Amino acid sequence: MAQVNQGRWAAGIEGDFVVFLIGARLDLRHPIRSLRDLGGMRGMPYMLKFLTEHPEKGLLGYETYGLTMNVQYWRSFEDLERFARSEEDPHRPAWRNYWRRVGTDPRSGIWHETFLVRAGEYEAVYGNMPRHGLAKAGALVSLKADSSARGRLKRLTR
């Protein structure tokens, strides 16, 4: 079990960054087929392992929630886009395979949302938590007990 950081903490990260949410909708009547549609062992788990082993690609960190969603933190949109379009990296083949298997059949679904975050224009607070989310991708910063969200954002944008 990860070490719990007692008290109130915030996430700190230098410069702009990208938050990338990605997930899938499985056909619960045919979950094995859906998992195969999504790439099986060559899908998201493989891509995240690859990215973790190649930090130069720009992935700062991620959190996985169940089989169908994860939140990723990227150094830049350019890094994310370069990974997605590269013929040498694992995303492009998995993407092509998904559309080859599924086409217009609605049995399995995928989605993603991309957010470009400017330096200091974010807030992430953790109370009695292990390093998590953005704090795992960046730094864990101690908070004063009486600080407010407005104060933290203001402090971060100075």
Placement of tokens 């407010």 in the chain: 148
- For residues 84 and 29, membership in a common domain is answered with yes
pLDDT averaged over every residue in the chain: 91
pLDDT at 157 over 70: no
Cα separation, 129 vs 81, in Å, equals: 32
Total domain count for the chain? 2
Q: Are residue 60 and residue 95 in the same domain, yes or no?
A: yes
**Tens of pLDDT along 122-134?**
999 999 999 999 9
Q: Note the pLDDT tens digit of each residue in 55-85.
A: 999 999 999 998 889 999 999 999 999 999 9
**Worst-scoring range by mean pLDDT, 29-38, 97-106, 135-144, 145-154?**
145-154
86 with 130, same domain: the answer is no
In this prediction, residue 145 carries a pLDDT of 58
Answer whether residue 158 shows pLDDT above 80. Answer: no
Domain of residue 139 covers 5-12+118-157
Write down the pLDDT at residue 146: 58
> Alpha helices of the chain — where are they, by DSSP H?
31-37, 44-53, 77-85, 91-102, 133-137, 149-157
- Considering the domain architecture, whether residues 33 and 93 belong to the same structural domain is answered as yes
What is the average per-residue pLDDT within 38-53?
91
The pLDDT assigned to 61 comes to 97
Q: Are residues 35 and 91 in the same domain?
A: yes
The Cα–Cα gap between 77 and 16 comes to: 10
